[in-house]
Amino acid sequence: MLSLPSSSSSSSDSSTSSPESPNCSSLKLCAVCDLPAKGKHFGAFSCRACAAFFRRTSTQPEQVLKCKKSNNCKLFNGNGWFQCKKCRLEKCFQVGMSMKNFQFDRDSIKMQIINKNLPLTIEELVGRPHFVISCAPNLLKIKFDERIIECEGFVEKGKAILWEGPETPIFSPNSLQKLALGRRKLHENHNSNVKMIRNFGEAETMAFWESDFLRAAKWFTYFDEFQKLEKEHQLKILASVWHVWSRLDKLAITAMGRQKNIIGDFVMFSSGNQYFAMDMKNMELDLTWCARLSNQEMQFFYDTSENNITYKYAQEMMELNPDDVELSYLLADLALSHASKRFRGEIEEICEKLMENLGNSLHNYYVEQKETPRYALRLAQILKINRKIKEEVIQIRSKLQLAKIFDVHTVEFSHMEYFEDL
């Protein structure tokens, strides 16, 4: 059986825990509030309350803590409470507490950092309050700084080239091979040196747009059936397709430049008698001349980065390596199919007839000259490029429709029909 503890042992225990024990005499007081300390915290002996106060308060901005008595208050009130946080914090620093031992971001579940760079709201982007956003955009346009760019000279130069026709009579077996010859002539007498473009603003944009338009007009002069159309139809088709035509033209020139090791991972194109190259990933592009948004925000509407068509499909074009006849067929197919979708009715029928004629010419070229009657696989491969470019053009058009809805642009052109789907 267990025996009860003796009285001597209980008296011994009580004497050990009595307040007169020598351990109590060695207790330290908090250097801030003079209450019993619980160890050394942040460089000074302090109680847990003062340590927690210092850890919580010392990281706050100075302007948050203010003394109501101009730094001349008593630290304690009559009840043992601190009257002033600012003075208490100063006392903590005076007794030797330091923030150098603070440890941050040690929580097992870290707080999510809120990004202060929040995207613009619809109201901020559109520039009008939410209760009129759903109204017709043309009734609410606010364009105090809008300007109109005159393009009369731009259009007249294209008309002159189109009506004049090719510089000399050219005889070819069919229209497709004549177009191939015309494309070769576009690259005659070019300077062998390639100029690098590092800045791209309004002047460069308008100059290269004009060059692309005139190159497309010149190429169409070698298309006999196209030259037989009414001038009104010729100009209408050219106005709607020159920018689409130039996308494939730049892609072909870039592939040619990379095959010949003329350029690196750049975009290459022709303007006049000169080749140019652009590093669109690092080039300084300025779109503020035509939009009220920043350059970074405008990249959503225009393919001005590595998402550019030329960057995405240059390697595929190099592997495909189409000859001039195949490339001319691709250019015609891309341009005329785009025009037939833009204009229904008579223009659509004209484009279908032109493509039927070019398709027969391509068949004869494969069978008679290349002696490859089974060319279906090859034709499918080269048309795959066109299909991808057409998909890109559709995406660009949808983005430009958004730009119109949100009233992004601050310029208009005197001949807007030439600048659709840019």
Question: Tens digit of pLDDT for each residue in 55-107?
Answer: 888 877 766 677 777 777 766 655 556 778 888 888 888 888 888 877 776 66
- pLDDT tens for each residue of 269-316: 999 889 999 888 788 888 888 888 888 888 788 766 666 788 888 999
Same domain, 227 and 164: yes
What pLDDT score does 133 carry? 59
Task: List, in sequence order, every beta strand (DSSP E) within 17-146.
Answer: 40-41, 44-45
Name the average pLDDT for the chain. Answer: 81
Q: pLDDT at residue 401 above 70?
A: yes
Scan for tokens 């350059």, then name that residue. 295
What number is the average pLDDT over the span 169-185? 89
Provide the CATH number for the domain around residue 92. 3.30.50.10
The domain containing residue 54 runs over which residues? 29-103
Same domain, 50 and 166: no
What pLDDT score does 344 carry? 81
Same domain, 329 and 208: yes
Q: How far apart, in Å, are the Cα atoms of 351 and each of 233, 234, 334?
A: 10, 11, 11
Same domain, 277 and 381: yes
Of 46, 70, 103, which closes a domain? 103
Same domain, 287 and 214: yes
Strand partners, 270: 275
Of 103, 135, 160, which closes a domain? 103
- pLDDT tens for each residue of 7-31: 444 444 433 333 444 444 457 888 8
Tell me the backbone φ, ψ of residue 165, rounded to 5 degrees: 80, -175
Q: Is residue 129 part of a domain?
A: no
Taking residue 96's Cβ as centre, other Cβ atoms within 10 Å add up to: 13
Task: List, in sequence order, every beta strand (DSSP E) within 57-128.
Answer: none
What pLDDT score does 138 carry? 55
Q: Is residue 232 part of a domain?
A: yes
Q: Is residue 5 part of a domain?
A: no
Q: pLDDT at residue 237 above 60?
A: yes
What pLDDT score does 80 carry? 53
Q: Is residue 18 part of a domain?
A: no
Q: Is residue 108 part of a domain?
A: no
Q: Is residue 296 part of a domain?
A: yes
Number of domains the chain contains: 2
What pLDDT score does 264 carry? 81
Of 103, 120, 135, which closes a domain? 103
Same domain, 321 and 175: yes
Q: pLDDT at residue 359 above 90?
A: yes
Pseudo-torsion of CA 4, 10, 13, 14, nearest 10°? 140
Same domain, 353 and 255: yes
pTM of the model: 0.68
What pLDDT score does 107 carry? 61
What pLDDT score does 347 carry? 92
What pLDDT score does 127 carry? 65
Tell me the backbone φ, ψ of residue 354, rounded to 5 degrees: -65, -40
Torsion 227-391-137-135 (CA) sign: positive
What pLDDT score does 132 carry? 59
What pLDDT score does 8 carry? 41
DSSP string, 339-402: HHHHS-THHHHHHHHHHHHHHHHHHHIIIIIS--S--HHHHHHHHHHHHHHHHHHHHHHHHHHH
What pLDDT score does 277 carry? 92
What pLDDT score does 113 carry? 56
Same domain, 85 and 187: no
> How many H-runs (helices) and E-runs (strands) does the chain carry?
15, 9
What pLDDT score does 319 carry? 92
Same domain, 218 and 333: yes
Q: Is residue 151 part of a domain?
A: yes
Provide the CATH number for the domain around residue 364. 1.10.565.10
Pseudo-torsion of CA 219, 222, 224, 229, nearest 10°? 40
Same domain, 195 and 317: yes
Amino acid at 318: M
Q: Is residue 264 part of a domain?
A: yes
Same domain, 203 and 70: no
User: What is the separation of C-alpha 64 from the centre of its chain, rounded to a whole number of angstroms?
Assistant: 41
- pLDDT tens for each residue of 193-233: 899 998 889 999 999 999 999 999 999 999 999 999 999 99
Same domain, 164 and 97: no
CA–CA gap between residue 360 and residue 7 (Å, rounded): 122
